[in-house]
């Protein structure tokens, strides 16, 4: 096969776009990504880079334009790179974004039939209430995409017009004061027409600069992190509440679409009778404060000190009593909470960390409302959350027209216990394996420590891998010895045990076929392949103690612990762990009980 080489030229027709808005075409069995190409374009292209599995090309000539192609509004479109798809009609942009989310959810969350409620949209330009310019050598502008090359610009069509007016006046000031060097310039505006300016750099004459800014009637001016003019914060109004915004606090940049997004969230909670809601990554407290009208108590958690300062001020000015704010990383605080009815998350682009994900699955609130600016990390997190939740609603909000970004809101509601596969189900010498209980079981194949293969329940295996990864960070390496076993396999093992051991001893180690937890695919026999503990006599014990300590965080419990032989019917086996689900694992561990004791207590409660 003839290989594609750099500088090769081809005539192609673009069939689709990738998730960043660039065109895709297949040439000689290799995918080629064409910058700024649109579906339907007939192009002459030149290969600019060749990787192992794909190539990149640039447009040499547009032979025939796609019906989706339009002339971009902005004179800087070809150089700036901030508006990746401004040359695509807006109607087509919306179709592209919806299709993109569907493809990502299918690939990363295995959701084939995504039901999208709507894709909400508003103004195509002049929608940003916050804009950041960079400065270098007396030039202000934006960095070229994926570089530190500064592109000088006179205005940004995405920014609200009043921000462009202020920016223009600052450019004029720089022309008149050549010794003033601005390295960074942030502008923010609220719907109440309050404007904040944050400047970094060296001022030739601070008094003349402040006089010039004062003439612009700015609400707040900071220079090198110091408030030099006006109020320390600007005020925004959302519905009937007011919010203070400090320089570094996160706030949605598209006011019109922000209200649409928040209304979607509020409409969900409006008819719920929730007592306690967590607002994670709460920013300046907007969602939590708006929710406080509909729920009994809200707790917001946020890492940014500026944002928490704003949130507490916002609580005060809106006279809200049923909300509290905690400053710190979400993963450092989420494990302290109990009895949570619902959780709202609006994480950074990186999504939820593993601690937060696992804690949500342990807390198991009735619902999770997930707001995301990155559908890939959202879909990744959904794959785990859908173990316990059902996706009941998906909304897309075009918060960033003319870019490939899209905001997504999903609502997850706790799945009613599935009758076909309850992870906490009891199987022992008195409770046989019932095929109907595991009718929906999905097994995945994995390798055993001796190079063979076994099978494990799909959900249990996903949590095992997370557990294994956490242990590996502590230099403990584990592997699977045994997983799922058929009736015939258990029959052979049981009969062999009876041949070499007295019946009583054999039954302490092996369950009769039909009564074995290995039939469930939820019981794992583990081996330690590496340990940091050096004391030969205690290394084995210390290692399995640590494995057991971490197990509940991933839905596992030691199935046959010491001192519970009468309850389980088996002798102590430190290497056999059972997946019971994130909620039940903590209940068993916290109370120091095994499955048999748990069900005995439940039966007593039910019988009064």
Q: What is the pLDDT of residues 173-186, one digit of tens each?
A: 999 998 999 999 99
Q: Which helix (H) or strand (E) holds 584?
A: helix 582-591
Between the alpha carbon of residue 152 and those of residues 133, 141, 149, 168, 252, the distances in Å are: 10, 4, 10, 12, 26
| 110 SS3 class | coil
Q: Mention the CATH class of domain 130-235.
A: mainly beta
CA atoms of 365 and 258, how far apart (whole Å) = 25
Mean pLDDT of 310-318: 95
Residue 352 to residue 367: CA distance in whole angstroms:
16
Q: How far is CA 317 from CA 194, 313, 430, 545, 562, in A?
A: 17, 6, 62, 51, 57
How does DSSP assign 524-581, residue by residue? EEEEEEE-S---TTTHHHHHHHHHHHHGGGGTEEEEE-TT-HHHHSS--EEEEEEE--
End-to-end CA distance of the chain: 76
Please name the residues in contact with 476: beta carbons below 8 A apart, sequence gap of 6 or more. Answer: 528, 530, 531, 532, 543, 546, 547
As assigned by CATH, the class of the 435-606 domain is alpha beta
**pLDDT band at residue 490 under the 50/70/90 scheme:** confident
Give per-residue pLDDT as tens, 577-588.
999 988 899 999
User: What mean pLDDT is predicted for residues 545-572?
Assistant: 94
Residue 260 has pLDDT above 90, yes or no: yes
Answer whether 1-67 and 130-235 agree in fold.
yes
Binned at pLDDT 50, 70 and 90, residue 418 comes out as: very low
Q: Break the chain into its structural domains and give their ranges.
A: 1-67, 130-235, 247-414, 435-606
- Amino acid 423: pLDDT: 85
Which pLDDT value is given to residue 316?
96
Q: Where is 312: in which H helix or E strand? A: helix 305-317
Question: What are the start-end ranges of the E strands in 127-281?
Answer: 130-136, 139-143, 150-152, 181-189, 195-202, 220-223, 226-230, 234-238, 241-245, 276-280
At a CB cut-off of 8 Å and minimum separation 6, what does 263 contact?
Answer: none
Is 250 in a helix, a strand, or coil? Answer: coil
Who contacts 416 (Cβ-Cβ below 8 Å, separation ≥6)? none
Q: Could you tell me the two tokens for 269?
A: 């909670």
| pLDDT tens-digit map of 29-83 | 899 999 999 999 999 999 999 998 999 999 999 999 999 999 999 999 989 888 9
Query: Above pLDDT 70, what percent of the chain?
Result: 97
Q: Please state the pTM of the whole predicted model.
A: 0.69
**Distance (Å) of CA 599 to CA 53, 567, 586, 590, 606:** 54, 11, 15, 15, 10
- pLDDT-derived band at 437 (thresholds 50, 70, 90) equals confident
For 31-159, where are the alpha helices, taking DSSP H only?
77-80, 90-109
For domain 247-414, the CATH superfamily is: Vaccinia Virus protein VP39 (3.40.50.150)
From CA 435, how far away is CA 514, in angstroms rounded? 10
Question: Measured between alpha carbons, how far is 39 from 14 in angstroms, rounded to an integer?
Answer: 5
8 Å CB contact between 234 and 241: no
Q: What pLDDT shows up at residue 420?
A: 36
* Sheet with strand 276-280: strands edge to edge: 118-120, 389-397, 407-414, 367-372, 342-345, 276-280, 297-302, 323-327
Cβ(594)–Cβ(570) below 8 Å: no
In this structure, what DSSP letter does residue 234 have?
E
* 3-state helix/strand/coil string of 403-456: CCCCEEEEEEEECCCCCCCCCCCCCCCCCCCCHHHHCCCCEEEEECCCCCEEEE
Q: State yes or no: pLDDT of 286 exceeds 60.
A: yes
Q: Which residues of 466-491 are buried (b: 16+ CB within 10 A; e: fewer)?
A: bbbebbeeeebebbbbbbbbeeeebe
Tell me the average pLDDT across 104-124. 92
What is the CB neighbour count within 10 angstroms for residue 241? 18
β-pairing, 573-579 vs 556-560, is antiparallel
Range from 256-260, 263-267, 427-431 carrying the lowest mean pLDDT: 427-431
CATH 2.40.50.140 fits 1-67, yes or no: yes
The confidence band for 415, taking pLDDT boundaries of 50, 70 and 90, is confident
Average pLDDT, the chain: 92
396, β-bridge pairs: 119, 408
Give, for 344, the enclosing helix (H) or strand (E): strand 342-345
On whether the CB atoms of residues 379 and 105 are closer than 8 A, the answer is yes
Determine which helix (DSSP H) or strand (DSSP E) holds 302, and give its type and residue range.
Answer: strand 297-302
Measured distance CA(514)–CA(433) in Å, rounded: 6
User: 185 forms bridges with which residues in the sheet?
Assistant: 133, 199
pLDDT digits (tens, 9 = 90+) for 89-103: 999 999 999 999 999
SS3 466: helix
What was the pLDDT predicted at 539? 86
Task: State residue 419's pLDDT score.
Answer: 37
């Amino acid at each position: 096969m003839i290989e594609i080489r750099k500088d090769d030229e081809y005539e192609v027709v673009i069939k689709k776009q990738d998730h960043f808005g660039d065109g895709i075409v297949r040439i000689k069995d290799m995918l080629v990504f064409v910058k700024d190409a649109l579906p339907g374009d007939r192009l002459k292209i030149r290969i600019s880079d060749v990787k192992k599995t794909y190539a990149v090309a640039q447009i040499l000539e547009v032979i025939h334009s796609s019906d989706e192609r339009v002339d971009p509004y902005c004179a800087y479109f070809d150089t700036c790179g901030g508006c990746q798809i401004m040359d695509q009609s807006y109607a087509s942009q919306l179709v592209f974004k919806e299709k993109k989310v569907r493809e990502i959810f299918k690939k990363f969350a295995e959701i084939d039939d995504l039901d999208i409620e709507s894709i909400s949209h508003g103004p195509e330009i002049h929608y940003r209430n916050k804009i950041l310019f960079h400065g270098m050598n007396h030039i202000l502008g934006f960095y070229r995409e994926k570089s530190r090359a500064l592109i000088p610009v006179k205005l940004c069509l995405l920014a609200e017009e009043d921000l462009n007016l202020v920016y223009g006046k600052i450019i004029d000031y720089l022309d008149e004061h050549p010794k003033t060097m601005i390295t960074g310039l942030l502008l923010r505006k609220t719907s109440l027409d309050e404007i904040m300016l944050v400047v970094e750099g060296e001022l030739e004459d601070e008094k003349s600069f402040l006089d010039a800014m004062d003439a612009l009637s700015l609400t707040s001016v900071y220079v090198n992190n110091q408030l030099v003019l006006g109020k320390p914060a600007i005020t925004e109004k959302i519905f009937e509440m007011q919010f203070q915004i400090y320089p570094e606090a996160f706030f949605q940049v598209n006011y019109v679409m922000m209200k649409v997004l928040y209304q979607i969230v509020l409409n969900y909670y409006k008819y719920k009778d929730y007592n306690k809601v967590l607002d994670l990554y709460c920013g300046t407290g907007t969602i939590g404060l708006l929710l406080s009208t509909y729920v009994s108590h809200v707790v917001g958690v946020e890492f940014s000190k500026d944002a928490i300062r704003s949130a507490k001020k916002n609580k005060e000015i809106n006279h809200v009593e049923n909300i509290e704010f905690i400053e710190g990383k979400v993963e450092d605080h989420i494990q302290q909470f109990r009895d949570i009815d619902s959780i709202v998350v609006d994480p950074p682009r990186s999504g939820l960390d593993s601690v937060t994900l696992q804690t949500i699955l342990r807390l198991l609130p009735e619902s999770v409302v997930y707001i995301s600016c990155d559908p890939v990390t959202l879909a990744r997190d959904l794959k785990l959350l859908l173990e316990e939740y059902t996706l009941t609603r998906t909304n897309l909000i075009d918060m960033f027209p003319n870019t490939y970004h899209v905001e997504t809101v999903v609502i997850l509601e706790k799945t009613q216990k599935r009758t076909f596969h309850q992870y906490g189900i009891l199987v022992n010498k008195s409770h046989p394996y019932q095929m109907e209980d595991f009718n929906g079981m999905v097994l995945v194949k994995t390798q055993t420590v001796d190079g063979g293969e076994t099978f494990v329940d799909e959900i249990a295996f996903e949590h095992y891998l997370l557990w294994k990864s956490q242990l590996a960070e502590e230099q403990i390496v584990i592997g699977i010895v045994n997983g799922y076993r058929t009736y015939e396999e258990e029959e052979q093992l049981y009969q062999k045990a009876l041949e070499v051991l007295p019946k009583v001893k054999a039954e302490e180690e092996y369950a009769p076929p039909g009564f074995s937890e290995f039939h469930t695919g939820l019981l794992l026999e583990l081996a330690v392949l590496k340990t940091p503990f050096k004391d030969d006599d205690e290394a084995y014990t210390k290692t399995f103690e640590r494995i057991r300590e971490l197990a509940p965080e991933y839905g596992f419990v030691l199935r046959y612990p010491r001192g519970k032989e009468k309850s389980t019917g088996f002798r102590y086996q430190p290497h056999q762990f059972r997946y019971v689900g994130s909620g039940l694992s903590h209940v068993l561990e916290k109370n120091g009980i095994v499955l048999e004791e748990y069900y005995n207590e439940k039966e007593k409660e039910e019988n009064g």
